[in-house]
Structure 1
């Protein structure tokens, strides 16, 4: 007997959803029956203690137990266990309509890799989404995602979405919390997958208890994920601009006061420009180390040729050498000033002339120390550990 091919898996993450799970499964199975699609309903259970597993099985769903806690972990486990070529995922709280999945399946059959629901286009029932999420959280986080990653998606956090199972598995998604929703969209966009969206509706969920979502905590986790994936725009480019302006301006004022139109620049400006350079350099180091850390933790960030070239040469030894060179430049300036002071019998000095030289010298020493410490931190990041190597399927050799 030939087992029929499974085209679609309707996947629901579940953690104590006994109140609404049965109606969601019945709606999903009803869709499969009416549409003639050969599919399954799969419940990715995340450790329910209210009998959700028995409810799911009694209503004809398949259950896979996912011991790792978290929304993302449940969906990763469910995607790996799914039998269908396509997966349509949705929350098991009866807020999404599992009877109207045709638009998702049509786009998947047409070759799209990820099809997002858009609740703002389809309609949000009164009371279905808290005002904080509707007018601030979702719009702001979606706007940030669209700007930073040039994504066409206008509702980053819709819980009803469909995807080509193998395409998404190939992305190696790894976040276990609510930020998984952002990770799927961001990585799909960066990988050049075909991404689209269709209108969908959002209803008030049928549970009597509060949702698992925690607005500020989970909102921050989404934002943190977006920051990790966009160090160029947030840290490297602004940091480079600040560093160039700070060092250039500080060295220019070493020769004496300057004017830019009606604005006069002197020692105070030099001090603030040196501070700007320090902050800018720290931002650059932070951006680079963030990228290296994210890759070490299993995130597949986009790598340009320039960063690949830089990453190969950024070692503890190289940074220590560069840092020592910068510190030495500043130290030479300090020694020259001390020698000049000694030649005058260590008496009173002209404050303006002294500070004018001391500021860039101190700046070089600070940048040198920052570089050395960044190298030491990089050395810590690159220490081989069993957990990371096993996760990546590598040995310690």
Structure 2
């Protein structure tokens, strides 16, 4: 009987007694009107206002999400869903569960994830705070499209439908409001078929404030987008800093540079040195982050990136680090020799200061690369240990161990 269900209409619930009956009624009316074999599933997240009894009294199926959080409730509901397709939405009567035809049509047509677009369908007056409508949602949706090349234009619409098995295979992990972003990001990275349909947003029917906290949950969404994109968080800023530092530094190593009335000298060279150091460290973090995320399944593997990362072995990076540090030591030795020639007095020579800045930059950068190389290589240790542990022990070796014991 569970296999015969085509659709599960899933609602996370935390003290939604005021609006739950209305939402369940609309969902049941849609199933009756469309003739779809389906169920209404309520994933309760610890309600204390009798929401569970209301749902059961109306014939909805109720499951309990033990861990608190929007994502935890949805994760439990998706795991318990019996329908081949799932359409999820908030139980606050802001979405119209009586009109889900567009979602079902796209799902039957082969879509893996169908997102509602409230900006295309219409937002009723008072349904969305101005800072969500004009700042939060547009900015986060833009960053999501920029970072991950997703076609979704309304990243955080709560009404969405999907093929149950496709989303379960993504192994979504977050438990809070950022679950909505994780679903879109992982579906995009997994190259699932994503589509959008216009949907409307009405003012919710609750008398209490919503569970959503604008700045806290907005930051959690932004944090998730950044953590899942090492390129934008580390690589691109690092490349920019390194390029600026190398270009500016290469000019100032030859002597002062005057542009108009402004004279750039060793103080600017020091800033360029800091850019090189920070840029190198940021690029190293990008490599470490990508390797970790790829190996442990947070980000799907990429043949191009994996080949590049595998070529950056510990030994090769150490070789570059040692060359940099040796060059730094040579430059530092020359600087000390110049200082000794002046009887260890004040270093007023700009040439000597340039050599010292170059030496310190090379030494620090080389040391950073060395430590980053070891940190990156440590990521492989659990994999190797597990492979060794999974190997069967030969019978004769097992007997020897038993005899020794």
Using the size of structure 2 for normalisation, the TM-score is: 0.87
C-alpha distance in structure 2 between counterparts of 1:21 and 1:4, whole Å: 27
Alignment-derived partner of residue 96 in structure 2 = 97
Alignment-derived partner of residue 394 in structure 2 = none
Alignment-derived partner of residue 255 in structure 2 = 256
Alignment-derived partner of residue 356 in structure 1 = 354
Alignment-derived partner of residue 138 in structure 1 = 137
The answer as to 2:363 corresponding to 1:368 is no
How far did residue 240 of structure 1 move?
1.7
Alignment-derived partner of residue 118 in structure 2 = 119
C-alpha distance in structure 2 between counterparts of 1:11 and 1:312, whole Å: 46
- The answer to which of 285-294 and 151-160 deviates more is 285-294
CA contact (8 A) 1:228 1:291 kept: no
Q: For residues 196-224 of structure 1, give each alpha carbon's deviation from its aligned partner in whole angstroms, at most 9, with x where no partner exists.
A: 11111111111121111110010001111
Q: For residues 227-279 of structure 1, give each alpha carbon's deviation from its aligned partner in whole angstroms, at most 9, with x where no partner exists.
A: 11222134212312321331343244323345679976432332221122122
Alignment-derived partner of residue 221 in structure 2 = 222
Alignment-derived partner of residue 309 in structure 2 = 310
Alignment-derived partner of residue 331 in structure 2 = 333
C-alpha distance in structure 1 between counterparts of 2:99 and 2:77, whole Å: 21
Alignment-derived partner of residue 241 in structure 2 = 242
Question: Equivalent residue of 2:115, what SS?
Answer: strand
Question: Equivalent residue of 1:13, what SS?
Answer: strand
How far did residue 282 of structure 1 move?
2.5
Question: Equivalent residue of 1:87, what SS?
Answer: strand
CA contact (8 A) 1:12 1:89 kept: yes
Alignment-derived partner of residue 289 in structure 1 = 288
Question: Equivalent residue of 2:253, what SS?
Answer: helix
Alignment-derived partner of residue 276 in structure 2 = 277
Alignment-derived partner of residue 201 in structure 2 = 202
Summarize the Cα distance change of 1:209–1:285 in structure 2 as closer, same or farther, 3 Å threshold: same
Question: Which ranges in structure 2 are unaligned for 5 or more consecutive residues?
Answer: 392-405
C-alpha distance in structure 2 between counterparts of 1:379 and 1:396, whole Å: 21
Q: For residues 27-62 of structure 1, give each alpha carbon's deviation from its aligned partner in whole angstroms, at most 9, with x where no partner exists.
A: 101110111000011111112222222221111111
- The answer to which of 184-193 and 101-110 deviates more is 184-193
Alignment-derived partner of residue 56 in structure 2 = 57
C-alpha distance in structure 2 between counterparts of 1:173 and 1:81, whole Å: 15
Question: Equivalent residue of 1:255, what SS?
Answer: coil
CA contact (8 A) 1:250 1:359 kept: no
CA contact (8 A) 2:228 2:299 kept: no
CA contact (8 A) 1:291 1:301 kept: no
Q: For residues 91-133 of structure 1, give each alpha carbon's deviation from its aligned partner in whole angstroms, at most 9, with x where no partner exists.
A: 0111110000001000100111111111111111111111111
CA contact (8 A) 1:229 1:301 kept: no
Alignment-derived partner of residue 83 in structure 1 = 82
Question: Which ranges in structure 1 are unaligned for 5 or more consecutive residues?
Answer: none
Aligned residues: 389
C-alpha distance in structure 2 between counterparts of 1:365 and 1:85, whole Å: 59
- The answer to which of 328-337 and 134-143 deviates more is 328-337
